[in-house]
């Protein structure tokens, strides 16, 4: 992958390599985003925490008084920074809720 992960593919199933590279790269990006966001949130010492991932979503939970537009902007920057591994731009969409995850808007 662009992040340096080696993927072994049996020659008989070489057609699978493209998907492995795409999925592996997405996985590497998500792992890096989790680490970057968690490190940033720990530095802030706010009541905002990285909880989990669901497919291509990074779920965070925070106290409503601690979540600011400045923090959202910084998190978006850290989530999209590929550190030169990829030359692409990505959008980050924040959805919030004060009741439960099923009602995020």
Identify the pLDDT of residue 102: 76
**Alpha-carbon distance 96 to 7, whole Å?**
37
Identify the pLDDT of residue 60: 92
Give helix 69-80 / helix 17-44 axis angle, nearest 10°.
Answer: 150
Residue with tokens 């662009």: 2
pTM of the model: 0.81
Query: Quick check: 92 and 76 in contact, CB under 8 A?
Result: yes
**Cα atoms in the 13 Å half-sphere on the side-chain side of 89:** 1
Identify the pLDDT of residue 72: 93
pLDDT tens per residue across all 105 residues of the chain: 899 989 999 999 999 999 999 999 989 999 999 999 999 999 998 999 999 998 888 999 999 899 999 999 999 999 988 888 888 778 888 888 888 777 776
Query: Quick check: 17 and 7 in contact, CB under 8 A?
Result: yes
């Amino acid at each position: 992958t662009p992040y340096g992960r080696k993927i072994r593919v049996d020659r008989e199933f070489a057609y699978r390599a493209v998907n492995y590279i795409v999925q592996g790269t997405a996985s590497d990006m998500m792992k890096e985003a989790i680490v970057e966001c968690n490190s940033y949130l720990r530095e802030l010492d706010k009541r905002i925490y990285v909880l989990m991932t669901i497919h291509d979503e990074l779920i965070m939970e925070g106290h409503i008084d601690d979540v600011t537009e400045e923090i959202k902007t910084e998190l978006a920057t850290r989530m999209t920074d590929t550190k030169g591994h990829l030359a692409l731009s990505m959008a980050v969409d924040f959805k919030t809720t004060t009741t439960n995850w099923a009602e995020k808007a």
